[in-house]
Amino acid sequence: MRHTSKMYAAVLISAVLGLIGIWDGSAGAREFRFAVLGDNRSTAPVVQPLPFKWAIEELNLLNPDFVVIVGDLIRGYTSDNELLKKEWDEFDRVVATFRMPFHLVVGNHDVWDENSEQVFKDRYGKLYYSFDHKGSHFIVLDSDLTSCFQKIDEAQLDWLKGDLEAHKDAEHIFVFLHKPLWLKGDPKEDREGFPEKIADHWNQVVHPLLARYNVDAVIAGHFHYFRNDGVRDGIRYLITGGAGAPLRGERADGGYYHWIRVDVKPEQVIFTVMPTGAIMAEADITPETLAKGGFLREKKNVIIEFLRPPDHIKFVPKHICRAVQELKIDGD
């Protein structure tokens, strides 16, 4: 399989290619691919987790047009400015190995007070912004403004309204933020999420605005698992928090290291959840390694079962060709 003059193979193990959504979009969209991952921060200062480095290796093989990292980029939460600098320096060193552009979303481990906010802005620029790519529009929001914790404040909301209006003719629109503010939590029922007032603000103010402008998808992180929150008013809601931080929940509930591949095509957008370890260089593929079930590299903390999808996603086979299997979701 050839991709931009490089050879790679996607080996189907567990749910290596798990399509989680296909729907009609605007006709004539220009084709391209990008990837999304989130929560690569470590539990130890300075270091970046191995699963994040593995994901970068795999993305370099896949070679998408660009990557979006949806926050919690470092451990953070320190008053030691020298340590904070070392953490950002190490992050910069690791992400410098990307062979494609990447865009950052700020998370609560990256900005938690005025000092850390200024450090982030000095290094990387605005906390919320937008960009365009091949006829599609991409919006990055800040869910952790120190002046308005866990809420899209009025200034950011006014900016969002203007940005959506200015790009209303885009072929596709995607929105990224760190915290999935649409989730309403309930400690009594052990339901993860945010206080009612926070979730209501998103669902009653922000979501209707996004729906009015035909946003295709909203993708967040924060919770360390994969979660497909379905489609509301045409907007796909996803959580991807498996780039290296300690996992939460069972594997069957999305608790595995992963990233998301997004293919933008003329009349559809395809999201594919990719467990870390899914893509290997062609040179790694031998009859011996394939006989072991296709998983070609031993990676700690990554458990893969050959041709068995996670229980939380319902699949039907679509096409099988040697070591590659395409899967699509059977219903939503």
In this predicted structure, what is the pLDDT of residue 195?
86
Element (H, E) at 90: helix 81-95
What's at 122, amino acid-wise?
A: D
**Higher per-residue pLDDT: 70 or 7:** 70
CA 231 – CA 211 distance, rounded (Å):
11
Question: How many Cα neighbours within 13 Å face the side chain of 297?
Answer: 19
Average pLDDT, the chain: 81
At 119-159, the pLDDT tens digits run 999 999 999 999 999 999 999 999 987 666 678 999 999 99
In this predicted structure, what is the pLDDT of residue 134?
96
Q: How confident is the model at residue 29 (pLDDT cuts 50, 70, 90)?
A: very low
Mean pLDDT of 195-201: 91
pTM tops 0.85 = no
CB 226 within 8 A of CB 240: yes
CA 40 – CA 134 distance, rounded (Å):
28
In this predicted structure, what is the pLDDT of residue 265?
85
DSSP 8-state assignment for residue 77: -
CB 223 within 8 A of CB 18: no
What is 196-244 written as a DSSP string?
A: HHHHHHIIIIIHHHHHHTT--EEEE-SSSSEEEEEEETTEEEEEE--SS
In this predicted structure, what is the pLDDT of residue 86?
98
Q: How confident is the model at residue 300 (pLDDT cuts 50, 70, 90)?
A: very low
Question: How many Cα neighbours within 13 Å face the side chain of 158?
Answer: 2
In this predicted structure, what is the pLDDT of residue 327?
30
CB 139 within 8 A of CB 131: no
CA 175 – CA 140 distance, rounded (Å):
6
Q: Which of 15-24, 149-158, 256-265, 290-299 has the highest mean pLDDT?
A: 256-265
CA 281 – CA 262 distance, rounded (Å):
20
Q: Is the pLDDT of residue 36 over 60?
A: yes
b/e string for 277-302 if b means 16 or more Cβ within 10 A?
Answer: bbbbbeeebeeebeeeebbbeeeeeb
Q: How many domains does the chain have?
A: 1
Mean pLDDT of 217-224: 98
Q: How confident is the model at residue 319 (pLDDT cuts 50, 70, 90)?
A: very low
Q: Kindly report which listed range (85-89, 149-153, 204-208) carries the lowest average pLDDT score.
A: 149-153
What's at 206, amino acid-wise?
A: V
CA 152 – CA 172 distance, rounded (Å):
22
Element (H, E) at 274: strand 268-275
Q: How confident is the model at residue 32 (pLDDT cuts 50, 70, 90)?
A: very high
Say which CATH number the domain at 85 has.
3.60.21.10
Mean pLDDT of 205-210: 98
Domain of 104?
2-329
In this predicted structure, what is the pLDDT of residue 24?
42
Segments of 78-196 assigned E as strands: 102-104, 129-133, 136-140, 173-176
Altogether, the residues listed in the chain come to a count of: 332
